Structure 1
Amino acid sequence: MLKKLFSHTAIYGFAPQITKIASFFSLPLITQELTELDYGIAGVLTAYTSAIAVFSFLGLRVVLVNSYFKSPKQFKWAWRQIYGFLSIWNIAYAFFLGALIYFIVPTEANDQRWLIVLLHIGPIVFFGPTSNICSTYYQLKQKPFQIAIRSVVFGILTIVLNVVFIANYKMGFMGWFWSSFIVGVIRNLSFYYPLNFVLKLTPIFNFKWRLIKSSLSVSLPMIPHYYSNYLLNSSDKMVMDVSGISTGNIGKYNVAYTVGRFTNNLGSASGLAIGPLLNKFYKDNNDMAASFLIFILQVSFFMITCLLSVWMKEIFYFLLRNETLSQMYYLGIIIVMSYNYRPMYFAANSKLMFSEKTNILWRVTLGAGLVNVILNLILLPIYGFEIAAITTFVAYIFMGYSGFSFKVFKQLTNANYYPLIWLFITLILTILVYLFKDFTISNKIIISIIFLLVGTFAIVAFNMKLKEIT
């Protein structure tokens, strides 16, 4: 089980990280051609477009997953109808997305307004939910290579195009948008053929409204849940824009996420890997095994985030060949450590999702998002853009641990996840690595070795317990 967790996480996570590593090495080439305004324009557009991104799939992924496990012989019939419905819905969604982009493009990018709109909505209009449905199928079939190969190929292509457009053709922020458009089209094409011709999952446009209504009754409560990702990851930049924070300072804050995006992607990859394993334990009513799997993942996150944070200053100075931007490493530490919420988040919410308690789930995630927005609205005008890193940390902690307080969760599980202990460890480690940020190289090496030894010992101990009960 441990081998499958780490191997699938490695495949889901390491494959895109190959491109992330390559992207890191490309940063010295492109950052010298970019300014905080470029980062700011991209950050503002991402913030606003992310605000409605959750509506593209209407939360229907939970229906796809549940039908796969609960109706293994009939799930394709339901998937095809959902595919048809979403294909039509995505045309309307693209229209609203385009209108939003048109009105919120920063004044510094007014000359490119229509082109920015077309580059964002093009792949959605032509391909709709194709890539999401096909990648979900491969994940549930536990075929991570199908997703990983695409991550590597298209990730590297994105990097090459970014270097060509930004470093060679001096296109600034537009280089990112052109790269995203080109890769988005090709990526969707790579999923379209296997989904429609190999797997025979063609869309049924004459879908049964009864099925769609039943599916939406389960999925729509998930929209506030998924919307929380926006409220936590991107809304801070929108609030900065509304609060009058300059585009340049928004760009600095966006740069602080350079390593944070790596950690976020790792969290997403671990979710793809651990999801089917947890669902199998839930199906077998083995919650104890699920808890030890979560403990292993939590310790792994501590090791990775602590090592990244200890060396954050050196990472930023190597990657960002811009004196102003590289100084944002101290915010990067807080952002990276905030992602330690992930394993505990999986523990509580995967059980609720498997049990289709989606009317409970959204309260946790949306509540965390609202905490982030409210704190930003109050504190940003007073303390400036840096405070957004701390509000994000607080909101993530809320989202990761509040699910354990619900009575329904306690009724659904017979395992103890010890959330208060893990929360205490998270806070202590965050304080420690922040204090270590300016230590000498030799001291950082010693600290890193200690983290690795303690973490490895804990993982081995938890894995022995897991083997005893499976």
Structure 2
Amino acid sequence: MILYASAIIIQKGISFFLLPLYTSQLIPSEYGTLNIVTGVCSFYGVLATLGMDAAAGRYYIEYKDDNENRKKFIGTVVYFTILVSMLLAVLLLIFGRYLVVPFAEGVPYYPHIIIGIVYILTVPIYSMYQRILLMKENANRYSANLITNFLMQTTLSIIFVVVFKLQSLGVILAMCITGIIFFIISIRSLKVETETIINKTHLITALKYSIPLIPHTLSNWVNTVFDRIILARFYSLVEVGIYNVANQLGMITNVFSAAINQAYVPWLYGKIKDGQNIRINQSINILTGLFSLLGIGIILLTPEILNIMVDESYHEALELIPIFVLAYSYSNLYLAFLNIVMYHVKYAKYIGVVTFSGACLNMVSNLIFIPRYSMYGAALTSLGTKLIVYVVIMILARSSSKIRFDWFKIILFTATLTIIAAVSITIKISLGFRILMCIVTLAGFICVLNKDISALLNFSIFNKFD
């Protein structure tokens, strides 16, 4: 578990760990440019992948003991994904001025967007390879890949930004070069896992699972990128840069929750398959308590984190950070329930409906509130949307499984998080009192979760992660 967690914290935390570098070397407009380019790349990266990485992970478990069908299935999704991503890259290079430029207000088409399009080509296969390593529970290779990727991208970013003064272009170049190298590594490594074939039956199976998840993935993009695009159109890249600093600091909890979740999913799927609902319920209680506690800790220490992490020119982000921490904490909480729904293939299709509906609400709200309230309208829109999706996914998880959730604990943790966030946003509290609040909250959560933690430890649940 420690290897998984450490590696994923590094991967998910790239933007966070590099924030001091970016804010000290890039003026807000350049940082805004970087975020628009990476946002557009992530959108087309979703289309290039078509959710096939999720299908590869899900059916690798299904065919774990069937070597022949496993290789045929993985080979099918790998080579189909390569064809799709290559076709998309060609289309974007030819028609980029019509398919990309309208979403990148104020960003140079050449070289920024061109390099970003090349980067898109590298994303799907690396993502798929990492997903397969995760399902194989190959912690050493999985972690080595993520850490090496991080170190390479960080080193190149420092060289291009600090030494060659390439500003946002330097970071985009670092992403692209790193992506190309790890695309090659992934292709070579996947050869032993695949047959060079696109099997029609397996392709249909994969698409039936992955296509309904695309709206869900695109919804995540809408919820994290669309607001920046609208900000750039109605205001400027300066607002985008400041807004994204607040967003990145608000996402600190996501770095840790992603690490925990990635290591947790293989264990969860095994317990669902074995029908160990009591153990699952205990783990859900612990996750919701832990994710809530993470959010509370970051919210209460926001001023200190801002002063340490970013340049003074970005300090206007201070008032937005607690809103984002609360919003992303809702996203972390919903992960615990989302995993349960995703396991049940019959119900997985509803995930796209829920999250896509939330994304549509987010888009409409952004179009209404950003022109009027700028960054604050965008932040509050994100908060409201994530809360609604969290509640609906909880209900869907209850419908898709026989697990009897402990709603008292779940609501208690969520309500505590929300109340502390509201107090922090509206009232200035001294550092000493904020530290005291952290200690009291931690003690209270431990008391509430004492039986769940003891039960899981007694059954040696975490031995698998050691």
**2:259 is matched with which residue?**
269
**2:464 is matched with which residue?**
none
**1:116 is matched with which residue?**
112
Question: Equivalent residue of 2:282, what SS?
Answer: helix
- Is the 8 Å Cα contact of residues 115 and 172 (structure 2) preserved in structure 1? yes
- Is the 8 Å Cα contact of residues 364 and 402 (structure 1) preserved in structure 2? yes
Deviation at 1:312, TM superposition (A): 1.2
Question: Which of 46, 51, 56 is the aligned partner of 2:48?
Answer: 56
**1:166 is matched with which residue?**
161
Deviation at 1:17, TM superposition (A): 7.0
Question: Which of 313, 328, 333 is the aligned partner of 2:317?
Answer: 328
Give % identity.
19
The one-letter code sitting in structure 1 at the alignment partner of 2:454 is M
- Is the 8 Å Cα contact of residues 119 and 178 (structure 1) preserved in structure 2? yes
Give structure 2 stretches of 5+ with no counterpart.
462-466
Question: Which of 341, 360, 378 is the aligned partner of 1:352?
Answer: 341
Question: Equivalent residue of 2:174, what SS?
Answer: helix
Distance 1:85 1:202 in 2: 12
Q: Say which is worse superposed, 144-153 or 77-86, in terms of deviation.
A: 144-153
The one-letter code sitting in structure 1 at the alignment partner of 2:113 is V
Question: Which of 7, 27, 35 is the aligned partner of 1:35?
Answer: 27
Q: Relative to 1, partners in 2 of residues 1:150 and 1:261: Cα closer, same or farther, differing over 3 Å?
A: farther
Pairs within 5 Å for 1:213-224: 213-224=204-215
1:431 corresponds to 2:422 = yes
Deviation at 1:415, TM superposition (A): 1.4
Distance 2:27 2:364 in 1: 29
The one-letter code sitting in structure 1 at the alignment partner of 2:87 is A
Please list the CA deviations of residues 344-373 of structure 1 after superposition, one character each: whole Å capped at 9, or x if unmatched. Answer: 423432222211022212122112212211
1:368 corresponds to 2:358 = yes
The one-letter code sitting in structure 1 at the alignment partner of 2:23 is T
Deviation at 1:20, TM superposition (A): 6.5
Q: Relative to 1, partners in 2 of residues 1:292 and 1:8: Cα closer, same or farther, differing over 3 Å?
A: farther
**CA RMSD for the aligned pairs?**
2.6
Q: Relative to 1, partners in 2 of residues 1:332 and 1:219: Cα closer, same or farther, differing over 3 Å?
A: same
Question: Equivalent residue of 1:142, what SS?
Answer: coil
Please list the CA deviations of residues 89-145 of structure 1 after superposition, one character each: whole Å capped at 9, or x if unmatched. Answer: 1111223444133554444x43xx2322332233444x5633122211111122233
Please list the CA deviations of residues 1-60 of structure 1 after superposition, one character each: whole Å capped at 9, or x if unmatched. Answer: xxx5xx366334444478677535xx1x54233212112222222333333332121112
Deviation at 1:247, TM superposition (A): 2.0
Q: Say which is worse superposed, 384-393 or 158-167, in terms of deviation.
A: 158-167
1:182 corresponds to 2:182 = no
- Is the 8 Å Cα contact of residues 16 and 248 (structure 2) preserved in structure 1? no
- Is the 8 Å Cα contact of residues 33 and 172 (structure 1) preserved in structure 2? yes
**1:252 is matched with which residue?**
242
Distance 1:397 1:172 in 2: 36
Distance 1:129 1:397 in 2: 29
Distance 2:297 2:383 in 1: 18
**1:464 is matched with which residue?**
454
Pairs within 5 Å for 1:392-403: 392-403=382-393
Deviation at 1:412, TM superposition (A): 2.5
**1:384 is matched with which residue?**
374
Deviation at 1:404, TM superposition (A): 3.1
**2:36 is matched with which residue?**
44
- Is the 8 Å Cα contact of residues 313 and 330 (structure 1) preserved in structure 2? no
Distance 2:3 2:282 in 1: 17
Please list the CA deviations of residues 178-229 of structure 1 after superposition, one character each: whole Å capped at 9, or x if unmatched. Answer: 1111221233334333322xxx12462x412232123212211111111111
The one-letter code sitting in structure 1 at the alignment partner of 2:82 is S
Q: Relative to 1, partners in 2 of residues 1:189 and 1:262: Cα closer, same or farther, differing over 3 Å?
A: farther
The one-letter code sitting in structure 2 at the alignment partner of 1:40 is G
Question: Which of 216, 224, 234 is the aligned partner of 1:233?
Answer: 224
- Is the 8 Å Cα contact of residues 28 and 241 (structure 2) preserved in structure 1? yes
Please list the CA deviations of residues 242-269 of structure 1 after superposition, one character each: whole Å capped at 9, or x if unmatched. Answer: 4x12222122111212323433233322
Distance 2:147 2:8 in 1: 10
Distance 2:400 2:239 in 1: 47
Distance 1:317 1:249 in 2: 19
Question: Equivalent residue of 1:207, what SS?
Answer: coil
The one-letter code sitting in structure 1 at the alignment partner of 2:26 is L
- Is the 8 Å Cα contact of residues 30 and 163 (structure 1) preserved in structure 2? no
The one-letter code sitting in structure 2 at the alignment partner of 1:328 is A
- Is the 8 Å Cα contact of residues 138 and 147 (structure 1) preserved in structure 2? yes
The one-letter code sitting in structure 2 at the alignment partner of 1:287 is N
1:339 corresponds to 2:364 = no
Question: Which of 286, 293, 318 is the aligned partner of 2:308?
Answer: 318
Question: Equivalent residue of 2:51, what SS?
Answer: coil
Q: Relative to 1, partners in 2 of residues 1:22 and 1:220: Cα closer, same or farther, differing over 3 Å?
A: closer
Q: Relative to 1, partners in 2 of residues 1:347 and 1:326: Cα closer, same or farther, differing over 3 Å?
A: same
Deviation at 1:374, TM superposition (A): 1.5
Deviation at 1:282, TM superposition (A): 0.7
Q: Say which is worse superposed, 455-464 or 89-98, in terms of deviation.
A: 455-464
Give the aligned length.
Answer: 450
TM-score (normalizing by structure 1): 0.87
- Is the 8 Å Cα contact of residues 71 and 194 (structure 2) preserved in structure 1? no
Question: Which of 58, 61, 66 is the aligned partner of 2:58?
Answer: 66
Give structure 1 stretches of 5+ with no counterpart.
none
The one-letter code sitting in structure 1 at the alignment partner of 2:433 is N
The one-letter code sitting in structure 2 at the alignment partner of 1:228 is S
Deviation at 1:153, TM superposition (A): 2.7
Q: Say which is worse superposed, 273-282 or 90-99, in terms of deviation.
A: 90-99
Deviation at 1:452, TM superposition (A): 3.4
The one-letter code sitting in structure 2 at the alignment partner of 1:101 is V
Question: Equivalent residue of 1:328, what SS?
Answer: helix
Question: Equivalent residue of 1:221, what SS?
Answer: helix
- Is the 8 Å Cα contact of residues 102 and 114 (structure 1) preserved in structure 2? no
The one-letter code sitting in structure 1 at the alignment partner of 2:241 is G
TM-score (normalizing by structure 2): 0.88
Q: Say which is worse superposed, 80-89 or 113-122, in terms of deviation.
A: 113-122
